[in-house]
Amino acid sequence: MLAVISVYGCRYCSWVHAREALRNGVNQTEIVRLLQGSVDICPEEEAVAVLYAQHWADSDTRPDHEAIGRLVKTYGLEKAEAIDLVLRMIRVGNLTGNTWDAFLAKVSFGVLGNAKQDNT
């Protein structure tokens, strides 16, 4: 989730998922690096999924066939479909958060919200 957020930049998602990562034992340094887009700290068994998630977000939810094939080959079809479902759920949350920020910025003339978001 943090790897996808590094692409989307939703401050609400960053806050929620960083908090959950801390609760689940991910240290602060790892969280910061993931939010910056670095995946070199991922455990080897998670690396394909994390890289796929970033590619999925970077490609505007349209990953290339090679990436999908590698995900399925690494984790099997059922787990790959579950990963895709979670990515779609993250996308909905992201769009909601960024839309809310854009609304706040407009109604407050830039005082509230995060006017620099462009993923709305």
Whether 9 is covered by a domain: the verdict is yes
Q: Is the pLDDT of residue 116 over 70?
A: no
Whether 103 is covered by a domain: the verdict is yes
Q: How many domains does the chain have?
A: 1
Whether 24 is covered by a domain: the verdict is yes
Helix (H) or strand (E) holding 12: helix 11-23
Whether 70 is covered by a domain: the verdict is yes
Whether 113 is covered by a domain: the verdict is no
Neighbours of 62 (CB within 10 A): 8
Q: Which domain holds residue 24?
A: 2-107
Q: Is the pLDDT of residue 120 over 50?
A: no
Whether 119 is covered by a domain: the verdict is no
**CA pair distance 94, 86, nearest whole angstrom:** 12
What pLDDT, on a 0 to 100 scale, did the predictor assign at position 97? Answer: 86
Neighbours of 118 (CB within 10 A): 8
**CA pair distance 36, 49, nearest whole angstrom:** 17
Looking at mean pLDDT, say which of 27-36, 68-77, 87-96, 103-112 comes out highest: 68-77
pTM for this one? 0.78
